[in-house]
Structure 1
Amino acid sequence: MAVTPPVCDFDWPAPEFSLPATDGKTYRLADLAGPNGTLIMFICNHCPYVLSVLDRILRDASDMQALGVGVAAICSNDAQSYPADSFENMVKMAETKGFTFPYLHDESQSVARAFDAACTPDFFGFNAELGLQYRGRLDASRREAGPEDLRRDLYEAMKQIAQTGSGPQDQIPSMGCSIKWKP
């Protein structure tokens, strides 16, 4: 069942965390923050919403990094019930797809709860002061990727945040599979 997260709570402070990544390192929020903003996205390996736009996520992440925006992805799904989302499979996906950002494992699901993450993908765009400025969609794609020429909502919002410190007032929420919570 598709889930839609709530709208942006402007200036909500990014929660602190420390999580292991597929590259063998452990990252804290401060390690990931970019000089012009930070994007934390909740994704996973099995969600059709994520898989249909993963190439666009990777393209936009690279373009945002060029703007001085720090980028990281977090998988918080219950890997016991969804083995495709195991840490081992996260490592394979990051390597196969050539992730240019850390892919973090939230095994306890505490970070997803602290962020109040709702679905995959769920995007949290912060300014340089780590105040939330965007919680919207990647683009108008849904379960299947839309046309290649769709407006790049996430990229345009993060570009605005990098340049001005503020996100767009009008945001359309992301949509995706629910976070797979542990019982």
Structure 2
Amino acid sequence: MATTPPVCDFGWIAPDFTLPGTDGRDWSLQDIRGPNGTLVMFICNHCPYVLAVIDRIVRDARALQTLGIGVAAICSNDARTHPDDDFEHMKVRAAEWGLPFPYLRDEDQSVARAWVAACTPDFFGFDADLGLQYRGRLDESRNAPAAPGARRELFEAMRQVAETGEGPRAQVPSMGCSIKWKAA
């Protein structure tokens, strides 16, 4: 079911975490943090919205890393109900997709809950002090191929954050599949 996250809560400070990565290392938010900002995205292996844009996520992540933006992705989906999102499948996808950033497993969903993540993909763009500056979409395509000349909204916003410390005030929320929460 498609859902959208809330609008950007400018300046919100993300709770720290330590999560295992598909690379065999544990990663904290401080490890990911870039000198000019940080991008953390909630994605998963099976979501058609993620699958439609993963090539552009990788392209933009590489470009943002050259601007001093730290990047990571987190999968928080319940792997019992969605086995394609388990840690072993995450390792396979990270390699297939050629992810140039850590892909982390939030098994107990505590990070997704603390961050109030809503969907996949859900983008959180922070300034150098880890204050939230962007919670918008990748681009206008949603779960379709990008139109020729489509504006790279996430990239442009995070470049602005890297250069000025502030994100754009006008943001369009992302849209994607809801996080697959574990039964209470």
TM-score, reference length from structure 1? 0.99
Gap change, CA 1:2 and 1:69, over 3 Å in 2: same
Give 2:159's aligned amino acid.
K
Report Cα offsets for 1:41-84 as digits up to 9, x if no partner.
00000000000000000000000000000000000000110011
How far is the alpha carbon of 1:142 from its aligned partner? 1.8
How far is the alpha carbon of 1:111 from its aligned partner? 0.2
How far is the alpha carbon of 1:148 from its aligned partner? 4.1
TM alignment of 1:34-53, pairs within 5 A: 34-53=34-53
Cα distance in 2, alignment partners of residues 70 and 99 from structure 1: 13
Cα distance in 2, alignment partners of residues 4 and 97 from structure 1: 24
Cα distance in 2, alignment partners of residues 149 and 85 from structure 1: 32
Aligned to 1:153: 153
Cα distance in 1, alignment partners of residues 84 and 148 from structure 2: 27
Report Cα offsets for 1:125-179 as digits up to 9, x if no partner.
0000000000000000122223142100000000000000000000000000000
Give 2:39's aligned amino acid.
L
What runs of 5+ residues in structure 1 fail to find an aligned partner? none
Cα distance in 2, alignment partners of residues 167 and 101 from structure 1: 22
Cα distance in 1, alignment partners of residues 33 and 80 from structure 2: 31
Q: Is the 8 A contact 1:48 1:144 kept in 2?
A: no
Aligned to 1:166: 166
Aligned to 2:16: 16
**Corresponding position: 1:144 with 2:144:** yes
Q: Secondary structure at the match of 1:117?
A: coil
Q: Secondary structure at the match of 2:8?
A: coil
Q: Secondary structure at the match of 1:124?
A: strand
Report Cα offsets for 1:87-144 as digits up to 9, x if no partner.
0000001111111000000000000001100000000000000000000000001222
Aligned to 1:112: 112
Q: Secondary structure at the match of 1:136?
A: coil
TM-score, reference length from structure 2? 0.98
Aligned to 2:33: 33
Count matched residues.
183
Q: Secondary structure at the match of 1:104?
A: strand
Aligned to 2:62: 62
How many percent of aligned residue pairs carry the same amino acid? 67
Report Cα offsets for 1:27-54 as digits up to 9, x if no partner.
0110000000000000000000000000
Give 1:69's aligned amino acid.
I
Cα distance in 1, alignment partners of residues 19 and 8 from structure 2: 24
